[in-house]
Amino acid sequence: MTYNYSKISALVISLGLGLASLSSHGAEPYQWNNTIPEKAPTASQSNGKTVLFDVSHGGVEGNADWVIDGAFSDFADALVTQGYTVQEYRGVDLNNDGTIHFFDDRTPSNEQNEAIITYNAIQHADVLVLAETNRPFTQAEQLALEQFIAAGKGIFFIADHYDADRNLNTWDATEVFNGYNRSDLAKYDLGGEYGDWRNPKMANAGWLVENFGIRFRFNGVDYKQGVSGVVTPNKTEGITQNVQPILMAAGATLAIVNEQKAKGLVYFSETDTPVKWKHAKDQGLYFGGANEGPYAAIAKSGAGKAAFIGDSSPIEDATPKYKRQDSGQTKKTYPGWTDSGNAAVLAVNIVNWLATPESYHYFDNQNGHVTGIPTPEPMATQEMSDPNNGNPWGSPASGFDAWNSDTYKDNSFNSPYGDGHTTPEPDPTPTPNDSISVTQALAAAQGTQFSVLGTVTASVNGIYGLVLSDVNTPETAIYVKLESSQRADFNPELNPEILTKNIIVTGTRNSYMGAAGIRYVTDIQLAPTALSIEQALASAQGEEIELIGKVKSALNGIYALVLEDLTNPSFVINVKLESGQRNQFSPQLNPELLGAQIIVKGVRDQYMSQAGIRQVSTINVVGNNIPEPNNDLSVAEALNMANGTLVTLAGEIKAAINGQYALELMDPSNSATSIYIKLESSQRANFSPQNNPSLIGKKLRVEGMINDYMNHAGVKNVTKLTLLN
């Protein structure tokens, strides 16, 4: 066996993973923690397959340390002896700065979180291990996992007892995997990228059960003697061959809802005597015996597979790598891999099964694929409410915020620093030069003092910071840490009017929230903004001005355009394009520019005998408001796509389906050609024909994934709906 660190560059290219050694921009954060580990067999031992261990969503929170060179070392080593290459998955380096940055992405104002799961980043693997995930998945991430399964791959869900809220953010793995919090409080209807995560109080609702026919229970059970009801191998696809009773050191069980999708591997037998875990928030043990549901289970969902176990203890080992994020103390993990009752054989057998593609899609008693046994009460009454009332497991340490990696202690995973770091002291009397752009600020060295001109586009870290975008290239941005006296006037959460305003920030180049930033801000001033068209028309002839407006039409062929006022379209001005600007900004050559907002800098003059702008030096499109080209599929074309394909299609709304939960979309020219569209909870109020009968006959654009719904060709995981008439 070899521990292979030489393939990391190739891994970065294939996954989008970040390493500081590949980029000087990432030199400060993660200096102690930049080598993403990989364990690989020798070439002669390799089976050509890859297993990813995810640590992008909280697998290293609290005492958890589920990394392949930490408390899952033994598991990873065992897989290498089987011929697997084992890699750690951290996320996607979106800004190519050499590191993976974690940010609070629960609010739409922050779009730079890189600790995310995308299908492109994991598709090279055969198996993905999700261990004690403590941060909820976005809808896009759930879709990525579904695509992974649809491609014939396997996912191993390793959970723990309810309330194993390792980072004290009110989420544990049972809730994250199920797709909803145990609480039904309004705050868990997160909306936006996440959708509604309130407890549906139904066993057949939630992301996990809808895709795999199974859900994790919210129980907490102890049975270190070993759960002994091991199902015979001829009923478990051979996975339980040579498996002995498995210890449960405070764990959860599962409930099978759809026996054709899921079946149990290990249950409490009639002679087992499990007890309530001493720290369980309710009865802990609901029914006992097989009625408590399986401790370990598998699922077959279309082309792919999944496996589940309700405790990490029998799989982990006693070699944690990182310090605790909240306290900086050394972690302590259970030596389950070598303990009596370990799950070593079971875990390896599970990965071997997950990594083997098979053509059958369900457990249907055909060809030896025995169906499962439904759990008699798949959602106990106790599971319909939250004994914690939406509170975290315990009180966070002073200054610790699970959603803010700047508060993590040194040498913990995702912390800004390791040993021996020093925070640079600010110069109490910085002497800035003339204002520079955000682009120039990003290129400046750490510790540089300057004044930066930019546009306020969002909050960052709640009320504590803002995002400053380049005036000319809005996608280029830097974070600004606000001092307490500056937040009321300049943080968008406290002062929404500041959004889109140009400001001049005087401070010191540094990192903030793990990203490029400005700290030690001594002064913030409002900067002059671009003129409206109405104001530009009142400007003196010959004056150089900067103005903003909406592109109304082409003028004089390719040589000019007409710009109208954003608030009063009756005010218009003609803009003469220079020869080097026409290919890019002439509406005749670029009709997609019609309706776009642009900022123009030039000299107030006359053009074509009307008010105009000549000698134009710069033109910049504001934001991302250029309409996308129409590449919509027809319903007929979408019906030819394979399940798991991401599509954008357009058709006519024909009818409501399944009450308010879906609609039928047809080709306008052929009503018999139709597809079902499953609506997300946030979409039903506006797009369900049952709730809005006037929608019948309207044209609708749908963005989602091809997947059967109610035994009919359909689209699920709908990310966007747009009425076209």
CATH number at residue 544: 2.40.50.200
**Hey, what's the torsion of the CAs at 41, 43, 45, 48, to 10 degrees?**
80
Residue 409: inside a domain: no
Which of 572, 593, 621 is a domain's end point?
Answer: 621
- In this prediction, residues 540-555 reach a mean pLDDT of 90
564, 499: one domain: no
Residue 306 forms part of a structural domain: yes
Together in a domain, 184 and 123:
yes
Nearest alpha-carbon partner for 503 in 584, 435, 419: 435
CB 555 within 8 A of CB 613: no
- Tens digits of residue pLDDT in 571-623: 999 999 998 888 888 888 888 788 888 889 999 999 988 999 999 988 877 64
Identify which has the larger pLDDT, 100 or 349: 349
Please say which residue of 468, 494, 526 terminates a domain.
Answer: 526
How far apart are the C-alpha atoms of 117 and 59, rounded to whole Å? Answer: 13
For position 20, what pLDDT does the model report? 28
Same-domain pairing of 518 and 550: no
Q: Are 221 and 251 in contact (CB under 8 A)?
A: yes
CATH number of the domain to which 337 belongs:
3.40.50.880
Residue 629 in any domain: the answer is no
155, part of any domain: yes
Domain membership flag for residue 427? no
Place of tokens 């307490």: 484
- Binning pLDDT at 50, 70 and 90, where does residue 10 land? very low
Q: Would you tell me how many other CB atoms lie within 10 Å of the CB of residue 392?
A: 16
> How many angstroms separate the CA atoms of 601 and 581, rounded?
13
DSSP 8-state assignment for residue 314: T
Q: Is residue 519 part of a domain?
A: yes
- Asked if pLDDT for residue 25 goes beyond 60, the answer is no
Q: What percent of the chain has pLDDT over 70?
A: 91
Q: How far apart are CA 623 and CA 228, in angstroms?
A: 60
With a cut of 50, say whether residue 7 has pLDDT above it.
no
Please check whether residues 597 and 649 belong to one and the same domain. no
Residues 213 and 234 in one domain: yes
Q: How many domains does the chain have?
A: 4
Tell me what percent of the residues of the chain surpass a pLDDT of 90.
54
Q: Does one domain contain both 286 and 204?
A: yes
Residue 18 CA, distance from chain mean position: 17
Strands 646-657 and 465-469: unpaired
Q: Can you spell out the DSSP letters for 366-429?
A: BTTB------SSSS-GGGGS-TTTT--SSPPPTT--TT-GGGSPTTBTT-S--TT--PPPPPSS
Between CA 157 and CA 154 the distance in angstroms is 10
pLDDT in tens, 548-568: 888 999 999 899 999 998 778
Instruction: Examine the domain organization and report whether 78 and 94 are in the same domain.
Output: yes
Instruction: For the chain, give the number of residues.
Output: 725
The per-residue pLDDT for 24 is 27
The verdict on 171 and 250 lying in the same domain is yes
Q: What pLDDT shows up at residue 630?
A: 55
pLDDT (tens digit, 9 = 90+) per residue, 419-462?
766 554 444 433 335 578 888 888 888 788 888 888 899 999 88
Note the pLDDT tens digit of each residue in 366-417: 999 999 999 999 999 999 999 988 888 877 777 788 888 878 888 999 887 7
Region 668-673 average pLDDT? 87
Among the candidates 500, 526, 552, a domain finishes at: 526
DSSP state of 440: H
Average the pLDDT over 679-705 and give the result. 87
Same domain for 112 and 184: yes
Pair 14, 131 in one domain: yes
Please write the tens of the pLDDT for every residue from 48-107: 999 999 999 989 999 999 999 999 999 999 999 999 999 999 999 887 777 788 877 775
Residue 668 near residue 652 (C-beta atoms within 8 A): yes
Residue 699 domain-assigned? yes
Tell me if 389 is assigned to some domain.
Answer: no
Q: Residue 294's domain spans which residues?
A: 8-384
Same domain for 103 and 148, yes or no, is: yes
pTM: 0.61
pLDDT for residue 434: 57
pLDDT of residue 285: 97
Taking only the tens place, the pLDDT of each residue in 121-157 is: 999 999 999 999 999 999 999 999 999 999 999 999 9
Residue 706: pLDDT over 80: yes
Q: pLDDT value at position 362?
A: 94
**pLDDT value for 45:** 94
Pair (301, 227) in one structural domain: yes
The CA angle 603-609-610, to the nearest 5 degrees, is 60
